[in-house]
Amino acid sequence: MQSSRRAIAVSFLTGLLFLAIPALSRSFQDTPSIAGFFPLDTAAEESLEAKLLAIPDAQHAEANLRHLTAQPHLAGTEASHEVAEWLLGQYRSFGFDAHIVEYSVWLGFPKEISLELLAPEKKSLATPEAPVPQDPQTSDNRAVRAYNTYSASGDVTAPVVYVNYGLPADYRELDKRGISVEGKIALARYGGAYRGIKAEVAQEHHAAALIIYSDPADDGYQAGDTFPVGPWRPMTGIQRGSVGYMQFYPGDPLTPGIASTPDLDPSKRLSPADAASLPRIPVMPINAQDASVLLSNLSGPHVPRAWQGGLPFTYHIGPGKSEAHMKVVMDYAQRPIYDVIAVLHGQNDNQWVILGNHHDAWVFGAVDPSSGTASMLEAARALGQLVRDGWKPRRTIVIAQWDGEEPGLLGSTEWVEGHMAELQSKAVAYINTDVGVAGPNFTASSTASLDDFIRSATREVSDPQTGLSVYDAWRARVASDRQNPAQRPAGNARPENLSADRSDTPIAGLGAGSDYVAFFDHAGIPSMDLGFSGDYGVYHSIYDDFYWMQHFGDPTFRYHAAMADILGIMALRLADADVLPFDYSLYAEEISAASARLRARVEKEPQDAADLQPVLAASAKFTASAARAQPALASLAAHPVDAQKEAEINRELVEVEQDFLAPDGMLGRPWYRHTIYAPGSYAGYATELLPGVTEALDRNDPAALSHESADLAAAIDRASARLDAITSLVYAP
């Protein structure tokens, strides 16, 4: 390919314009091109992609999922280690250079979880999930009982107060009504935000404890038929999950910013009492069946209409005469977790394309995470076959299977923290899939510069149900949802969190909730998260098993194969692209729109607009720099460059993302360093655009606003300078 590129003349211009100016490129429908590939290299790439697409199949994916869901494999247990060892063997059989990396993390398991209603009547609660006769896995006594990782231990007897979703706005409503949760047990329903936010807000309001339940209005019978008849959560289903304060930092609570290796000097670990990410109150999850007992015995005022859930009675806030006894005893210790790192060496081992998903699960984890792993294994098998057939990637491909994601993104965060310098020097992009298949609806979140790269890859893969491309099926579904909003599914446990993108295939900004967080928010590696969503109500329950997938999620397993196709296409294109397919004009549009929204906000509110002037100026500068960089890249057609300069251009394109990092991070949570995107402090999974400035405005904090505005403006200016350097590099003799 190197020699063929040197022969490119004027015909090269059309191909690079396709890369650099997506809006213009779509008018050249008769010109075959793939974003990032020069015209004379396109045919070879198309041939390689055709070979790859012929390899993944549904039967292999089904076999993968059956093995991965054969037993419960909670992080920190030997069963999770066994899954890691099996994955190691699989990747080695595909031709990858694979190894296991062990970390030692602070992790707890439940010793005792109990709940009893004491008044106005006595009744034992905290009932387990009911077995389903036709699904033998639901009777497996190895399944961990429902609990919340990183809950504090505690023994509390107190009145109960219903707090809706348990978010700041809900507590403001309670304040208006003169109702306090201080010293009481707060009862919140799942939804609206990450459960750790609910724990933090309850703690801030001095609740003695928190109970979180799954309301049938959110993911139960109001959404549709419940398991085993349908895909939604039955009355006995419980959502397990972490309540660690990942809004401050993910990973091992005792080693923020430091890899928690087994040989780490103990003096470098925080004491649990000093770890900002650990809750100080006991928290437990229960099912709707038990919540019904608590809620039906509350008195006090009836709830606002928006607080009414799906149980068949009027909800009251409490406390009234209701009283409950809740006991949580946790066993915390340093425990091992096991990441699997598989490497397919390329011609250039100094550039890495990284794909990842976690392998630990709350119980069986058919959807979360094993559907993603089953597909990733098929993509790896296909890539390995291409290597056996004579192909060698231009860049090295790394596939990672993380452990400890469910407790708090442990395995990925520790690996990133231990490889920061190397990652920032070598990583081209990180592709994450977690809930790989929960239905037929493709969704994605990404850094803005890779949005059109995602769309391009989905054009190449067939949608199993419609026969259209995944892209066209995605576009048709979005159009239908917009025409019939009342018919949209009730929602997944991890919402799509779509940004302000008004295109026909909207892509969300990156928030939190999966293993891309450390790559993107901490290290500044361009990242994306992909999957097929659907009616998925059994998230983090014992019912998320092979039977559920076989009957509801993907009965034919063809969407698993389609996901493998998408991952494989993306890996090929990023590994072999001549010019990496980043589009910073899209990034400029995102920053400009977000800045304009901030300006409109301060014009309406009593805020000091002067603090935003540096941000507005920097945004305009970045837009201009992006506009100059595009024709500069296109000019390479008439001014060929040698391989060394081409490599320099690619490296500069990648590092624009790192320029958006604030060296000292955000005020109050310095682990989060990205100035354009971050999970909202009180949102959890959802992204916040221009987070430092936005949240300073939310707090009406002029000092913070000034600081964050300066950091944001400086970051955008650094990115502008990088784009200008790319332009200069292209034109340099």
Within 8 A by CB and 6+ apart from 265, the residues are: none
SS3 80: helix
User: Between vectors from CA 49 to CA 549 and to CA 472, what angle results, nearest 5°?
Assistant: 60
Which residue has tokens 């008849």?
Answer: 229
Please choose, from the candidates 272, 316, 337, 292, the residue with its C-alpha nearest in 3D space to the C-alpha of residue 84.
337
Q: Which helix (H) or strand (E) holds 601?
A: helix 584-604
- For residue 399, the cross-strand partners are 342, 355
Residue type (1 letter), 186: A
d(CA 443, CA 481): 13
The yes-or-no answer on residue 405 being catalytic is yes
- Residue in 194, 176, 83, 713 with CA at minimum distance from that of residue 495: 194
Q: How many residues does the chain have?
A: 733
Q: Kindly give the pairing relationship between strand 348-358 and strand 323-344.
A: unpaired
User: Rounded to the nearest 5°, which phi and psi values hold at 509?
Assistant: -75, 160
Output the CA angle 444-449-454, nearest 5 degrees: 35
What burial letters (b/e) apply to 664-693, b meaning 16+ CB within 10 Å? ebbbebebbbbbbbbbbbbbbbbbbbbbbb
Beta bridge mates, 353: 397, 429
CA 583 – CA 593 distance, rounded (Å): 16
Give the number of other Cβ atoms within 10 Å of residue 297's Cβ: 20
Structure tokens at 270: 């925080």
What's the CA gap between 184 and 207, in Å, rounded?
A: 5
Strand pairing of 395-402 and 441-446? unpaired
Angle at 593 between CA 635 and CA 480, to 5 degrees: 95
DSSP 268-283: GSPPGGG-TTS-SS-E
Catalytic, out of 62, 405, 406, 414:
405
- Token readout for 502 is 């008004």
- Amino acid code (one letter) for 256: P
Catalytic (active-site) positions: 405
